Structure 1
Amino acid sequence: MDTIASFFSFITTPVSWIIVQFHSLYGAVFGESSGWAWGLSIVSLVILIRIALIPLFVKQIKATRAMQTLQPEMKKIQERYKNDKQRQSEEMMKLYKESGTNPLSSCLPILAQSPFFFALYHVLNSIAQGKEIGVLNQGLVDSAREAHIFGAPLAAKFTDTASDLAPLSANVTDVRIVTVIMIVLMSLSQFFTQRQLMTKNVDTSVKTPFMQQQKMLMYVFPVIFAVFGINFPVGVLVYWLTTNVWTMGQQMYVIHNNPTPGSTAQASYLERLAKKIEHSGSIRGRGRRAIVKAIVAKGRDRNPAERKFINGLNKMGFAAQPDGTVVKSEKLAADQAVDGPGATPGGTAKRQQPKRQTKAQRQAAVKAAADAAEDEAEAAEGGHPSPEPQDTKPQGAKPQGGATRAGGAGNGRSRAQSGRKGPQRSKSSSKK
């Protein structure tokens, strides 16, 4: 580790200078040799570095999402050229070039932060040895050696023996308790950060080996931090714990406000956005409009959560626009003005289903239609128009006692009046 730290010694002077500036600020409040003054100086160093790395973090998010989008294509290439590794690598590089994606972009924040991490380790290791480094003169080095955090010196490590801790005015028990607690917190924060990424912010429609690797790293990284953490000084543990907490909070913010398409976080986000649109009638914020703009541009390629969001807007009477805004649907407003507030979102009234008739009602209707047709035929044969019935016969009524329809009261005239000669045939009441 000393060899690696020495390789990054070119940055130890800037790191030591930043720590000294923050120490002069906090030392005026807590005391120059206070553990809080030196500890907060390290925390402030982390915050300053992470703020400077925000542009790289944004690139990391875009690169990670681009890699997730390319996973199906990468899987096809692997299956197509599984026996030709060279052709497989060439096709992969071609795919990266065409999509403008760089696999190393997802590692940029870690790579950019590594020099500061090793420089800080080198600074704290020199403090433990009582050596001047960077802008830290002997007086500041002695002040840092006397600084304790909950009884553990900043330069102490879990593996230090009693003889190693004696010059630092500390005992083994205090140092190991503090270092174990910090290592556990550091590992848990790393695990939670990776877990919320895999459970909430991953496109669940894509099943590739890349996802399995990410799940494996979710358990491997905390173990790596725990193993190497026992060799880190307390000051480095403060640095790494702070950066893990910052990463966790930064990722929670991104998942809440700009989730990955197709993830469970996106479904929750779109539900919240739909409620806000229903309440205010508009989309506020450039980021929200950018998300809606991307959803509208997808067209038929939208995932289920995005389709549900667009359909929900239509039901509420809104239409998403290509620029990411929403407007009140003019067609819906006009239909509601004509048909009333009960009109459907499409502007058409709900069709009423006819009532279901019984079997007896259907048979009576058929019989009545047949009788009406026969009467019209008889009227046509006699050269007279079909008379209108004086009484309306209810549906389903049966003829009385074998009386013919010609002599019935409902017909209104006799067979003789019809002008037909010869014997008349009586009609059965069961004829249809």
Structure 2
Amino acid sequence: MNKRILAILCLSFLVLVVSGCSSAQTAQPIGPDSTGIWDRYFVWPLSWLIKESAAVLGGSYGLGILVATIIIRLLVLPLMIKQIKSSKAMQALQPEMQKIREKYKNDPQKAQQETMVLFQKHNVNPLAGCLPMLVQMPILIAFYNAISRTPEIREHTFLWLQLGQKDPYYILPIIAAITTYLQSKMMGTATQDNPQMQMMLIMMPLMILAIGVTLPSALSLYWVYGNIFTIVQTYFLYRDKGNELRPKEGTAK
């Protein structure tokens, strides 16, 4: 993955979030009678899920967001498993990639070509790790719309927060950025020698922090819940699949 791809991904993330948030601020409240594919099949189901979960949990919309987050993460679990498999495969290829970089250190284009041949030989897609992030972009925007266009959620107080307002102490955005870094670090061990991925490792938490300090605290709460879930999930998936994904002795030359 080169810097141009990283820049495009980051820019796309920012554009989608900002455009989605801007439209939510001017849109009508969401409800079962809302029309349009986006409102009817994305925003309203999320709003309904949070409200119904909160009703079961004593009227706490903060806990309702927790339930919605867990359900969303479980739905994208197959993509996360694929991402982890890709990460483990990249980790196994690191010695070969290092040899290529050293051999063609004066010819970056040739090094990149040989690296792609290596990926093709082992059926590894270096961009597979980006798929969960791309899938979660529209989910994130729908989540923001559901919060902003549901008065009960927007006006609810949870802990020190009013869910529809930004965190006055910036605590949640900071926690969201830290947990984003931690979960990215856990899933990025295979790219520890890749400068482009190292750049992404730093950029993503900074982007989350920048967005979190300006948007409603419910969104940062969703990020924190989701990151903690992913950290725990990644630990168990790496542990359970470590032996399965580890290359057999003698297969890599």
Q: Same fold (TM over 0.5)?
A: yes
Cα deviation for residue 10 of structure 1 reads 5.3
Is this contact kept in 2: 1:155–1:235, CA < 8 A? Answer: yes
Matched residues in 1 for 2:113 and 2:181: separation?
35
Matched residues in 2 for 1:208 and 1:142: separation?
44
Counterpart in the other structure of 2:12: none
Matched residues in 2 for 1:189 and 1:111: separation?
19
Matched residues in 2 for 1:300 and 1:121: separation?
47
Is this contact kept in 1: 2:156–2:162, CA < 8 A? Answer: yes
**1:110–1:176: structure 2 CA closer, same or farther, 3 Å change rule?**
same
Aligned residue type for 2:77: I
Q: What pairs up with 1:256-335 in 2 under 5 angstroms?
A: 256-259=239-242, 298=249
Helix, strand or coil for the counterpart of 1:232?
coil
Counterpart in the other structure of 2:178: 188
Q: How many residues align?
A: 224
Helix, strand or coil for the counterpart of 2:74?
helix
Picking from 156, 176, 193, the partner of 1:209 is 193
Cα deviation for residue 246 of structure 1 reads 0.5
Matched residues in 1 for 2:81 and 2:39: separation?
27
**1:12–1:45: structure 2 CA closer, same or farther, 3 Å change rule?**
farther
| Gaps in structure 2 of 5+ consecutive residues | 1-16, 25-35
Counterpart in the other structure of 2:19: 3
Helix, strand or coil for the counterpart of 1:30?
coil
Task: Answer with 1 or 2: which has the greater Rg.
Answer: 1
Matched residues in 2 for 1:98 and 1:299: separation?
16
Cα deviation for residue 190 of structure 1 reads 2.8
Matched residues in 2 for 1:65 and 1:300: separation?
15
Is this contact kept in 1: 2:179–2:227, CA < 8 A? Answer: yes
Helix, strand or coil for the counterpart of 2:178?
helix
Helix, strand or coil for the counterpart of 1:231?
coil
Cα deviation for residue 7 of structure 1 reads 9.2
Matched, 1:142 2:156: no
TM-score after normalising by structure 2: 0.71
Matched residues in 1 for 2:22 and 2:58: separation?
32
Matched residues in 2 for 1:115 and 1:122: separation?
10
Counterpart in the other structure of 2:29: none
Counterpart in the other structure of 1:47: 70
Q: What pairs up with 1:73-112 in 2 under 5 angstroms?
A: 73-112=96-135
Counterpart in the other structure of 2:7: none
Q: What pairs up with 1:5-84 in 2 under 5 angstroms?
A: 11-13=38-40, 14-27=42-55, 30-31=58-59, 36=60, 38-84=61-107
TM-score after normalising by structure 1: 0.44
| Gaps in structure 1 of 5+ consecutive residues | 128-140, 158-174, 262-289, 302-432
Helix, strand or coil for the counterpart of 2:214?
coil
Higher helix proportion (structure 1 or 2): 2
Matched residues in 1 for 2:151 and 2:204: separation?
35
Q: Aligned residues: percent identity?
A: 27
Counterpart in the other structure of 1:172: none
Cα deviation for residue 254 of structure 1 reads 2.8
**1:39–1:189: structure 2 CA closer, same or farther, 3 Å change rule?**
same
**1:142–1:197: structure 2 CA closer, same or farther, 3 Å change rule?**
closer
**1:25–1:185: structure 2 CA closer, same or farther, 3 Å change rule?**
closer
